[in-house]
Amino acid sequence: MNLKELEKTHIREDSIREMTENAFDEMLCFQNMYQAYKMAARGKRSKKEVIDFELDLSHNIWEIIRQMEDKSYRIGGYHKFMIYDPKQRETGT
């Protein structure tokens, strides 16, 4: 690879990195995170975890944003349960 090709590759990598960082920053705005919360909570509003989260909704969303920005956010574990229709099997959410 010659020098011009290397420079083009470097510029493309920088552009891709910048686009990715911009998309991540846009995703982490409060409005987008609130919309994501509403979608995730749909059909689960009576569950204890959702009610607890909603008690201090604004703080909890800002805390998730902070943790994602500093890369300390950790996804919780699965909740395993049995279903019986059409056959018995274990599943998780």
The predicted-structure confidence for 12-37, as pLDDT tens digits, reads as follows 666 777 777 777 777 889 999 999 99
State the average pLDDT over residues 75-85: 82
Q: What is the pTM of this model?
A: 0.63
Specify the pLDDT at position 84: 85
Q: Which helix (H) or strand (E) holds 11?
A: helix 3-27
Specify the pLDDT at position 25: 78
Gap between the Cα atoms of 12 and 32, Å rounded: 28
Rounded CA Rg of the chain? 21
